[in-house]
Structure 1
Amino acid sequence: MACRIGELVLECRDPEVLARFWCEVLGFVVLEREAGEWVEIGTPEGFGGPQPTLFFSRRDEPRPGKSRLHIDVNATDRDQAAELERLLALGARPADVGQTGEESWHVLADPEGNEFCLLKARIDPL
């Protein structure tokens, strides 16, 4: 038997802001929270469900250096252009990581500047 990702932990200045943003992006719900300290979001099935949960943990000072992990998302019910418009309206912003402009994906940043990519392919919702 292999391991399975149960949750992804992101350290951030404001767990509530990022939880709201990512709930809208992914269609997740808040599962648990400790006010001002952390918020966990995921599918309604919760931890151990069909997708990993996201756990936003308060950290006032960012760790030095660039994060070595980022999230890739795919639209499920619309094309990439429509999903890009939706993500930008939610508060995502374009990010420049040295891309050429020929990529099939868009590099974005969430409200705290964490980079993520919107990939071209649509995938089936769970």
Structure 2
Amino acid sequence: MEQILSRQEASEAVRDHGWRYLLGALQTSVLVGTLAQAISLAADAVAVCGDDADRHLRVDVRPDLTVFTLQSLDHAAVTTRDIELARRISATAGKSGFLPDPGLGTGALRSVQVLEIAIDALSISGIRPFWKAVLGYTDEAGAEGPEDPLVDPIRQGPAIWFQQMDRARPQRNRIHIDISVPHDEAPRRIEAALAAGGRLVSASRAPAFWVLADLEGNEACVTTWQGRES
């Protein structure tokens, strides 16, 4: 029976198979040499996933890279089925001579990651309908409340989530980007951002997230699955 896994369980279950857990999903990438190889690799993954492919697997195919993402669309979470599918995909890629790799210092352009946009609001229920309409977004599975996140129905754009403000802050940027990275990639990503002129605003909630800012105060959070309450 398919069961939802905790963050710790999901992370540990795929770590040795070339995948990383990224806040509700599993992800890996495979370097390839041609678009034909990428498509063939994607087809093999779909085949080994069988009937589960449509409800669990997403594939981004490029001439030099194939990115696999696993998540149960019915639960908007990682389940025991996703773990099994990740292991199957790693095995079938390995048989073809390809190495599933989350891209941590191995020659890949960057590690796997998930982007989200956070919007601060005094009235989340008041602004959420606007963002849902203007982006053409929809409710995430099981999250249909007036303050819940929004997602791209075809999973191309980043998710939108809303952060409750307790008072107006007109001089502060009220939209920021969350970059969810593998937990073992976060220190390297933060170091690179600081070396590029950024500054650390807060690490009080690390390793769940570090708040960084550019020279003009525009903020971004580097986040991981670790250090979260649920």
Larger RCO (alpha carbons 8 Å, 6+ apart) = 1
* TM bracket, shorter-chain basis: 0.3 to 0.5
So what's the TM-score if we normalise by structure 1? 0.41
Q: Which has the higher helix share?
A: 2
User: So what's the TM-score if we normalise by structure 2?
Assistant: 0.24
Q: Quick check: which has more Rg, 1 or 2?
A: 2
